[in-house]
Amino acid sequence: MARSMWKGAIQFGLVTIPVKLYLATESRAGVSFNMLHEKDLSRIQMKIFCPVEEEIIPRTDTVKGYEYAPDKYVVITDEDLEKLPLKTVRSIEIEQFVDATEAESQTKFVKQAYYLEPDRVGRKAFQLLKDVLQDKGLTAICKIVIRDREALAALDPFENTMLLSTLYWPDEIRAMSELDLPDEEPEIKPAEKKMAAQLIEAMTGEFDPAAYHDEYREALMQVIESKVEGRETVEVEAPAEATKLVDLMAALQASVTAATSARDAKGKPVSVAEAKEKRAAKGKVAAKEAKPEAEEERPARRRKSA
């Protein structure tokens, strides 16, 4: 069962809605490795070393310190953090409501997403807030303290709950002026735009997240399993180096041809509605085909003799 990582309440005017936060995602970025001593393959241990006493100390002997001047620290305890005069320490403080479409462009830089679970006593108020946000097309902009840091967040309806997305503060988002972007947009020929549209159309289909998987992890696990079993690892063929872009139209044409061929081999992508219609049509055909066969298999009735 999932474990909540934060417990508090949504503050909505004078309304308090007790809720719990659950991580909506989990990272499976890659295969983890341990650091070993090359000579004897023993696992390296990371110790906490005190340079003053010149000895290894247990983690329980450590405290949090803030360096306010070179080599000068002030100790901050858990009690100090609990006494901070902030409403957002144990609450999701809604600051304002904004149009969801407008907010979308301002909330793209997401740190972490959380599912909200209302306590039983707050379910009605939770549902009321969710319904109004959904009906009005609004996003709630709020603040919350998570892991000793206050975060800006967006609260949105999501299926049968709400999703809290913590955001980066404006001063944490890098300015695009750091990029080497052109001052003027390059000229695009109508034929190039048309060809690019054809390429995009050939690659357009219904998104199925389950169709995607971590190929790098799978290949790495094959190498690891081969080494564990004492087999030789298969050398993966190196991908072809990207060629320099000389003729944009030629590259687009070749891409359209390749994408069209790949689509035809898999079958042209269809929408959800089209897929349902096809399934219904197949069901009707199968029913019609099955009916005559059933009649043929049924034994003929014998006439009663007088």
Q: Residue 121 — pLDDT band, cuts 50, 70, 90?
A: very high
Residue 296: the pLDDT is 45
Residue 215: the pLDDT is 80
Residue 14: the pLDDT is 83
**Residue of higher predicted confidence among 63 and 278:** 63
Residue 261: the pLDDT is 84
Q: Residue 164 — pLDDT band, cuts 50, 70, 90?
A: very high
Q: Residue 253 — pLDDT band, cuts 50, 70, 90?
A: confident
**Residue of higher predicted confidence among 77 and 89:** 77
Rounded to an integer, what distance in angstroms lies between the CA atom of residue 216 and that of residue 116?
33
pLDDT at 275 over 60: no
Q: Domain map of the chain by residue range?
A: 6-24+83-171
Averaged pLDDT, 14-26: 91
Residue 229: the pLDDT is 81
Residue 206: the pLDDT is 85
Averaged pLDDT, 265-270: 62
Mean pLDDT over each residue of the chain, to the nearest integer: 82
Residue 294: the pLDDT is 44
Residue 135: the pLDDT is 96
pLDDT at 198 over 80: yes
For the ranges 40-44, 189-193, 275-279, which has the lowest average pLDDT?
A: 275-279
Q: Residue 117 — pLDDT band, cuts 50, 70, 90?
A: very high
Q: Are strands 91-99 and 149-158 parallel, antiparallel or unpaired?
A: unpaired
Residue 277: the pLDDT is 63
| Residues 6+ positions from 75 with CB-CB distance below 8 Å | 63, 64, 65
**Residue of higher predicted confidence among 165 and 257:** 165
Averaged pLDDT, 82-104: 83
Averaged pLDDT, 113-120: 95
Averaged pLDDT, 223-240: 74
Q: Which of 43-52, 134-143, 290-299 holds the top average pLDDT?
A: 134-143
- CATH topology assigned to domain 6-24+83-171: Ku70; Chain: A; Domain 2 (2.40.290)
pLDDT at 282 over 60: no
